């Protein structure tokens, strides 16, 4: 509990290129695993074979609660491949996804896993079909979602293959979308720091080359 995932730069692959790399994932896999009060903020995920940020509760008794996903820049992401997709996860027939929240609950399952109380705040999602994909979640709050996702938010139960924007889950509140991309000051600073470090490295390399 209380983990923070922040200021990471993830440069991965688009769904049709390379191995399954490029993603931030928080998953509960063993039965009765509890993950709570995690903050995932100010990261850049550009290119991923799966959804860019994924929260996934897989086994009976798993609980993922009170996760905050805030001020991340997410683009050019993917979906779950056939070899480990489920009826609850987005696949190629659905399309690409920026953020995925999934609890692998099934009818009649004892102690089904849960994903509850997730706050998705001020994230920018670009070049994905779905901005946020939810399945079997509760008390999800999405605010100030920015970018150009074709369908900004969707619940998996809206349709088996092509969900519509008219069937968004009821627990979403205070939601707004904008077509104007914005990565936020913290992400701009992160990009600037990376550029400065790269330029400094080039300068050192040139000086060494002259000495030789």
Measured CA to CA, the distance from residue 104 to residue 27 in angstroms comes to 11
Q: What pLDDT sits at residue 190?
A: 67
Q: What pLDDT sits at residue 161?
A: 38
Question: Per-residue pLDDT for the chain (212 aa), expressed as one digit of tens each?
Answer: 999 999 999 999 877 776 667 899 999 999 999 999 999 999 999 999 899 999 999 999 999 999 999 999 999 999 998 888 999 999 999 999 999 999 999 889 999 999 999 999 999 999 999 999 999 999 999 999 999 999 999 999 875 333 333 333 333 333 333 333 444 555 666 666 676 766 666 565 566 665 65
pTM listed for this prediction: 0.78
pLDDT averaged over every residue in the chain: 83
Q: What pLDDT sits at residue 160?
A: 39
Measured CA to CA, the distance from residue 179 to residue 17 in angstroms comes to 27
Q: What pLDDT sits at residue 167?
A: 30
141, 134 Cβ separation under 8 angstroms: no
Q: What pLDDT sits at residue 91?
A: 95
Percent of the chain surpassing pLDDT 90: 65
Q: What pLDDT sits at residue 202?
A: 59
């Amino acid at each position: 509990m209380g983990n923070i995932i922040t200021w990471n730069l993830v440069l991965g692959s688009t769904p049709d290129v390379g191995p399954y790399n490029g993603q931030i994932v928080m998953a509960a896999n063993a039965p009765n695993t509890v993950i709570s009060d995690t903050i995932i903020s100010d990261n850049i995920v550009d290119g991923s074979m799966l959804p860019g940020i994924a929260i996934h509760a897989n086994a009976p008794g798993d609980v993922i609660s009170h996760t905050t996903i805030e001020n991340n820049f997410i683009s050019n992401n993917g979906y779950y491949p056939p070899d480990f997709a489920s009826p609850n996860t987005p696949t190629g027939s659905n399309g690409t996804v920026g953020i995925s929240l999934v609890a692998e609950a099934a009818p009649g399952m004892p102690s089904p896993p849960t994903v509850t109380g997730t706050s998705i705040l001020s994230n920018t999602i670009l070049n994905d079909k779905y901005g946020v994909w939810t399945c079997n979640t509760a008390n999800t709050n999405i605010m100030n979602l920015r970018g150009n996702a074709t369908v900004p938010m969707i619940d998996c139960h809206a349709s088996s293959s092509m969900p519509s924007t008219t069937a968004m889950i009821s627990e979403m509140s205070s939601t707004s979308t904008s077509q104007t991309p914005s990565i936020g000051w913290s992400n701009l600073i992160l990009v600037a720091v990376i550029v400065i470090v790269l330029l400094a490295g080039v300068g050192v390399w040139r000086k060494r080359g002259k000495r030789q």
